[in-house]
Structure 1
């Protein structure tokens, strides 16, 4: 092996080894020029020595090849001599443009001292200009080839590179184009992608887990909080049912216990919307269960000073009950007792309040908003109920499973009536159950008459009030 060939191999090996082992991204990018020039030198040298190369071309290659080797070696020497090898930074006194000037000066010095051929001098000048102009382009091209070989992502994948995140719309020899969530296009040079970490949310499978953190007061039992979060996540439209959502206790903070609600989404592009739905569902569900999300503590406050969520509709609840077909026949005292025990429950738009077939022991009075009543299996809407209307009364009175699914169509406030108050009221006030049974029977008869498919249901038996009272007493364990 000739000395010239040995030197060329040594420069190429050193450049490749340095590029592989250095942590300095600037050095890594600039060394692409040395690698390309050293490889070009070796090709030119071998072609010049090959017997099959025409003599004229062989002489031109023999004249040009030293220029390539000197420029490759000059770039390599300057980069390794002045830059930190294990740190990703430039020297404070030697910015990139000054390093390029040193490289050119070193190269020109060697050319002036050792090159006498006019063709070599011309090639040297051209090599300097071309090498400096194309070093970033060469870096991007080689990085693009490497990315295509490894294929860490493909067109259509949702990826994150540094601070940029989006869907890959184009991969070229120079750059990769991402479309962000804001529908803007970001072109990233391939060299910057190859030198950094690539997070591919679409591989090996599209479902991706997203999470939100929420603080809860220290007085709430963790298992109860996790169950409430699971209930909230079941209301999130974008959350995949499998793998199932879950909740983790992740921190005991200064003012709250921090929980992490997690679920999988099919499309990472909609992750921000899924997180919005998760936070919204958690807020409403926490309000219904009385779980407090503490305020950030900057100064000390007593608990009584904290503002509480109030419902102005609760003050007019007895009068609202008096206007309902079910409860209007009760005495004012009975309605006041029911109103005093009614629990306000706030549901967000789209949340399911009761689900068909589930067991229940409560009924609901709409205090604000609108709900949709539907039947399985095709979720056919059968009614819409507004302020002052009651649903779930058969579960409340007899313990029957829910006969329909009721969903909030807007932010809806309902007042929940439980069987405990009903039992105490029936035990202490004669005639309450008879009044309720008569109201239920009348209501069912009216619904039967107004039913859209009355013809198909003609002949259905409406339960007599006496029979209904007997069932109510058995359910409430009354004599």
Structure 2
């Protein structure tokens, strides 16, 4: 009776200590994943208490035999509880807290050895089966099983070796026998990888340890890719490298650290070949990112008149589609902009004639927040998205314009602008504006007034009747803007 009561008290005390430890460590899994084992131990210990009562001997003829098996079940359950708690504390808490990644296979091996040790102790001290006799009698059987399971055991030990060397882990991208995939499982017998088409390839651990495996990335989440682009000989390399750099700077998927590299790779028969080396974080998206870079490079080349040549062995007769706007069409579109309406007709016609027509693809960066914008844009077709601090603040469409502050003050852009779809723009460069417009104090004041009214309109600060009346607050804003214009143009 005393022993069974001690067992009940020990189980209750163990549960309380387990609960307190979980609270101290803020590790709820220690209770959540072990309470069933404590409950089973408590039930078994109470049954032992009942068996020790004198009334049990009256109704049960085989009390000792039942007690024997109950204690055996108790010991087995206790072993499971101890091993489970050790696994939770070390692998799921202490190692995880120190950001140490323990492979699943290694964890399974350690847990298996702990279970095996506990079972052997129960055999030796409770069942009175001597371990030495058991091992000696099973030596021949062990040899037979070992020979029969040679390949399986080879895979298991190869898996253990790979885990200890910490070469591979779940989530890595590898190539094996020309098959590329991400490691989704690292088990006792094999490594399972999944390719981009969601197909799974099973690689036996023994084959993996003997074969050549290519591991992608630098181990810090950076994956490096290469791309080659051919460009006509008539374009200077520095100009091409600058244009491609602008595309990569505007592509969020391309990492800025480590930095990308662009260099001349070869002089081909029909083109100068440039190679781009860049890094990304998500290797599964490599084809999508490469396609996006090529798409944006095409638009950048189109805007800058850069030719991607055909092979010189073939002769092509090409004709540009008649999509360019005439000077009169440009003048009609630009004439709707209030800022340009303050210019005299001659100056306006000169600016309209020299205005560039540019095309941006979906997702391309037009203006970068915090950098100098050298153009003032009018939307001919498509839409653009204004983003500030990574949040969209406006969506501009056909007829809207942006970048006016930059060409009259030379200040850095306070927001980024991206093309929401394929978008055609009319672009007036700051250089053209400065060379044509003979800025004076009177003209600067007109510009300041028009821009402030424009900001008032776009910010929905107009009066309900829609009248463009400069209020006291707008007068102060106009004065500050006028000072910046005068300073930029050097008006005395």
Same fold, TM-score > 0.5, yes or no: yes
What CA distance in whole angstroms lies between the structure 1 residues aligned with 2:202 and 2:480? Answer: 77
Name the counterpart of 1:459. 473
* Cα deviation, residue 251, structure 1: 1.1
What CA distance in whole angstroms lies between the structure 2 residues aligned with 1:380 and 1:134? Answer: 60
* Cα deviation, residue 137, structure 1: 6.5
Q: Which runs of 5+ in 1 are unaligned?
A: 1-51, 69-129
Alignment counterpart, residue 356 of structure 2, candidates 343, 360, 366: 343
Alignment counterpart, residue 175 of structure 2, candidates 160, 175, 180: 160
* Cα deviation, residue 390, structure 1: 1.8
* Cα deviation, residue 199, structure 1: 0.9
* Cα deviation, residue 356, structure 1: 3.4
* Cα deviation, residue 448, structure 1: 6.0
| Residues 393 and 204 of structure 1: CA distance in aligned 2, closer, same or farther (over 3 Å) | closer
What CA distance in whole angstroms lies between the structure 1 residues aligned with 2:385 and 2:248? Answer: 21
Name the counterpart of 1:359. 372
| Residues 298 and 174 of structure 1: CA distance in aligned 2, closer, same or farther (over 3 Å) | farther
SS in 1 for 2:339: coil
Name the counterpart of 1:421. 432
2:261 equivalent to 1:246: yes
2:464 equivalent to 1:450: no
Contact 1:444 1:462 in 2 (8 A): no
Q: Describe the superposition over 1:85-134 as per-residue Cα deviations: whole angstroms up to 9, x where unpaired.
A: xxxxxxxxxxxxxxxxxxxxxxxxxxxxxxxxxxxxxxxxxxxxx99x98
Name the counterpart of 2:423. 412
Name the counterpart of 1:179. 194
Q: Which runs of 5+ in 2 are unaligned?
A: 1-132, 464-470
* Cα deviation, residue 388, structure 1: 1.9
| Residues 258 and 56 of structure 1: CA distance in aligned 2, closer, same or farther (over 3 Å) | closer
* Cα deviation, residue 175, structure 1: 3.3
* Cα deviation, residue 180, structure 1: 1.0
What CA distance in whole angstroms lies between the structure 2 residues aligned with 1:210 and 1:236? Answer: 15
| Residues 448 and 234 of structure 1: CA distance in aligned 2, closer, same or farther (over 3 Å) | closer
Give me the TM-score of the superposition, normalised by structure 2: 0.59
RMSD over aligned CA atoms reads 4.3
2:202 equivalent to 1:193: no
How many residues are paired up? 351
SS in 2 for 1:286: helix
| Residues 408 and 163 of structure 1: CA distance in aligned 2, closer, same or farther (over 3 Å) | same
2:336 equivalent to 1:323: yes
Contact 1:347 1:412 in 2 (8 A): yes
Contact 2:456 2:462 in 1 (8 A): no
SS in 2 for 1:204: coil
What CA distance in whole angstroms lies between the structure 1 residues aligned with 2:175 and 2:480? Answer: 68
What CA distance in whole angstroms lies between the structure 1 residues aligned with 2:189 and 2:455? Answer: 73
Contact 1:372 1:407 in 2 (8 A): yes
| Residues 458 and 238 of structure 1: CA distance in aligned 2, closer, same or farther (over 3 Å) | farther
Give me the TM-score of the superposition, normalised by structure 1: 0.61
What CA distance in whole angstroms lies between the structure 2 residues aligned with 1:197 and 1:474? Answer: 66
Name the counterpart of 2:400. 389
